[in-house]
Amino acid sequence: MRIENLTKIIEGELLNSPSITYIDQIRTNPKQVKRGDAFLTVDKQDIDIAIKNGAYAVIFTGQADIKDSEIAWIRVEDIQKSVIRYLRFKIVQSGFDVYYAEDVTYQILKSSVNSKNILFLDEDIISNFIKIINADIDTLFVSNMINFVKEVNPLYKEIKKCKKNFVEPIKFSLFQMDIVCDDIYHKEIRVPKIFLPYLNDSINFLKEHGFSYNLPNIKIESHFDPIFIDNEFNIKDFGDTNRVLILESDKNLIKDEIEYLCKYAKYAKNSALLPRDLGIKAECLETIEFDADFDISILKGYNSNFFLINENREKIIKKLALYQKEKYKRLF
């Protein structure tokens, strides 16, 4: 690619008049830079390594010393915005298909399929950049970030809802199912029945594109995601206790999950820990409201079996660890 074209694509400013006019690839790892590459840096300390390895151009933000006037020095205002602009160009040029998937579908797909021809884009912009610029021409991309998808490909597609049932649930508990799919019996698949439509959508998508899948590998985090604990809030193995924190990071799924709990866990005492501004009330379970961040010890005052909590797994794990740390301090 010509230096002047690259500069326009990423909306950069060429600070010098280099003797070179073309670059081959864009690299983000200075150790992987080869002669003729452009180096896109998020850490200016790596520039010397990239130049030593043969970089023909350096893309950076802020200030940097022009140590070699023979190569191109391109300054941009925002590395991430420039990366997105280049990715948009690369996706259009290569004809890549980019699909948006709701997060439950995204997690099912990501954990069940293993193919170099389907790649998953996440919150790490630089990681996404590496995946896209190194992808084979027939690669398909899936992301759960709608704003990112719209930026890199305005002609993105959505994984469609499927009316056909590929999965037949044979029996189920609150958090998993025994199913038949493709005439194969699968025992204790970690997908709660409430997410059966997402599972069908995922299988339909994979079948349409010829990808194989491994249903026992499915892992869904922070969506009706159980953490089993004892009375002292120690984390236990799946199914080992009758006290469970059920995590749901998506506010849009809370109402349906409350109904699911009320329908299939009538035998238990249930509570929901929800932000006050969510405004959800349910007669069939106890609602505990909070205004901002909350202390997990608030649950000590309730003897419920299931706590539906509007939070993600990472934060709850940290809260449980902090609770144990504070408890240890109180003992001594």
Q: What is the pLDDT of residues 93-146, one digit of tens each?
A: 999 999 999 999 999 999 999 899 999 999 999 999 999 999 999 999 999 999
Q: Render pLDDT for 26-66 as a digit per residue (tens, 0 to 9).
A: 999 999 999 999 999 988 899 999 999 999 999 999 998 99
In the CATH scheme, what is the code of domain 3-77?
3.40.1390.10
CATH architecture type of domain 223-331: 3-Layer(aba) Sandwich (3.40)
Which pair of structure tokens corresponds to residue 220?
Answer: 């869904």
User: For the chain, where do the domains classified as CATH 3.40.50 start and end?
Assistant: 223-331
Model pTM score: 0.91
Instruction: Answer for the pair 96, 134: CB distance below 8 angstroms, yes or no.
Output: no
Exposed, middle or buried by CB within 10 Å (0-12, 13-18, 19+), for 133?
middle
Cβ neighbour number for residue 198 with a 10 Å cutoff: 24
User: For the chain, where do the domains classified as CATH 3.40.1390.10 start and end?
Assistant: 3-77
H or E segment and range at residue 178: strand 177-181
CA distance 35 to 52: 9
Contacts 24+ apart (CB under 8 A), 311-316: 311/222, 311/247, 311/248, 311/249, 311/273, 312/221, 312/222, 312/247, 312/249, 313/221, 313/222, 313/225, 313/227, 313/247, 314/222, 316/227, 316/245, 316/247
Q: Render pLDDT for 144-187 as a digit per residue (tens, 0 to 9).
A: 999 999 999 999 999 999 989 999 999 999 999 999 999 999 99
